[in-house]
Amino acid sequence: MTGVIVTTINLTAIYALVALGVSLTWSGLGFLNLSTGAMYAGAAYGAWLVATNISSNVVVVLLGGVIAGAALGALICLTVFLPLDGKPNWELRTLTATLALSFVGTNIYLWQFGPQFKQFDPLFAFIREFRIGETLVQPSKTGTVIATGILVAIILAFISYSRIGLGVRALTQSVEGAALVGIDRRTTAFAILGVSGAFIGLAAVLLGQIYFVEPNSGYSPMIKGLIVALLGGLGSLRGAVIAAFLVAFAEALTLQYLGGAWVLITLFVLIAVVLIIRPRGIAGVLEGTRA
């Protein structure tokens, strides 16, 4: 059981990162970024290039992933958000455009890097492994939790104290209100998508410690990140963290007792049940009061 708990905490950190990226984009800009998976793989390749060409120092590689993710986020802003902002049929068109870009991205990776798996050297080898009861806690898991904590703290500080962060928060609360007090949606959009990308990029490097990197490696984390974001109630950051924990726990239990092939099946049963009972997810009540 301790094994399940350790896995749960590790996965919670990673899924919360992806889901925060998705959720922030939704609440701030009102679209679902279906190129999250391609951003994830892109950031992983970015970090891998940094690790093989520049330095395999932990901080450098993590920064590489975060910066690559943020850059891809800015690219999405430039190519999808800015051209479509304010245009009719917005919801379906943003969905389609991000889907198209993810298709393009995945195939460019396949073209450039080939289908072979890329592997990171263990980043957290300097952390000593330790035991809780009978369960061995690997360095990668400790490192994941610490690195997530640090990035989330930095970004929360950025959102709470900087002027752009203030704009981001205003935009997630009320589009009209933000416009009234003179917040520029288009500038803030870069911040929002950049931060989303940074979260996704960090998740990519951290999960790259466990799974290999390949062109399609972003698909499964994206689906899980979307599940978490929807389960939490799109737009709610608190809900996303709670849902990340729930999903991670379900996955850890499934891994332990049923086997890896059943993970997605369990998760979809979970999401179907929760969404049928509460169509707006865990934090749906918060959403409702916002209108």
Partner 1 sequence: MLHYAGLAVLFVVALAVPFVFGTLSILGSMAVFLLLLSWSISWRRQGGDTLAGVRDRSAWLFWGMAAVIAILIPIIAGTSYFLAVMVTFLIYLSWNVMWGLVLGTAGLQSFATVAVAGISAYVAGYLSIELGKTGNLSCVGGGERILGIPVFEWWVAIPVAVVVGLIVGFIISLPAIRLRGIYFALLTIGLVELARAYVVQDKCNFGGGQGLYGASSFIPESIAGSLAGYQIAYVAAAGLAVLALIIYWRVNYGRLGLLLRTARESEPVAEVLGTDVVRARLWVFLISSAVLGGAGGFYIAYYGSISPSFFNFSTVLFLFAMIMIGGINSPRGILVGTMLLMYVDKRFVDVDPPEARYVFIGLLLFVVTIVARDGLIAIPDQIRRRRGARGTDAEGDPPEDVGAIEQEAHMPPGSRPEPR
> Which residues sit at the interface with partner 1, rule CB under 8 A?
26-27, 30, 32, 79-80, 83-84, 86-93, 95-97, 99-101, 103-104, 107-108, 110-111, 175-176, 219, 223, 226-227, 230, 234-235, 261-262, 264-265, 268, 271-272, 275-276, 279-280, 287-291
CA dihedral for 142, 144, 147, 149, sign (positive or negative): negative
Q: Would you put residue 164 in left (φ > 0), alpha (ψ -120 to 50) or beta?
A: alpha
Smallest separation (angstroms) from partner 1 to the CB of 86: 5
The tokens describing 110, both together, are 């396949």
CB atoms within 10 A of CB 144: 27
* Minimum distance, C-beta of residue 79 to partner 1, in the bound complex (Å): 8
Specify the 3-state DSSP secondary structure of 122: coil
Give the shortest CB-6-to-partner 1 separation in angstroms: 26
Nearer to partner 1, 2 or 107 (CB): 107
CA distance 26 to 81: 12
Residue-by-residue DSSP string for 11-37: HHHHHHHHHHHHHHHHHHHS---TTHH
Per-residue tokens: 60:
């450098």
Q: How far is the CB of 62 from partner 1 (least distance, A)?
A: 29
Sign of torsion over alpha carbons 103, 107, 112, 116: positive
Q: Which is nearer to partner 1, 145 or 270 (CB)?
A: 270
User: Closer to partner 1 at the Cβ: 87 or 163?
Assistant: 87
Nearest distance from C-beta of residue 114 to partner 1, angstroms: 10
Q: Go through 237-253 and write b for each residue having 16 or more CB atoms within 10 A of its CB, e for each that does not.
A: bebbbbbbbbbbbbbbb
- Compare residues 45 and 120 and give the one whose CB is closer to partner 1: 45
Q: Is the CB of 126 or the CB of 261 nearer to partner 1? A: 261
* Residues forming a β-bridge with 118: 213
Least distance to partner 1, CB of residue 117, Å: 17
Residue number, 13 or 230, with CB nearest to partner 1? 230
| Secondary structure class of 118 (helix, strand, coil) | strand
Query: Crossing angle of helices 36-53/58-76, nearest 10°?
Result: 140
Minimum Å distance from CB 205 to partner 1? 24
Residue 142: CB atoms within 10 Å: 18
Report, in Å, the least distance between residue 37 CB and partner 1: 9
Comparing CB distances to partner 1, the nearer of 162 and 187 is 187
- Spatial separation of the C-alpha atoms in residues 140 and 58, rounded to whole Å: 11
Complex with partner 1: residue 64 or 281, whichever CB lies closer: 281
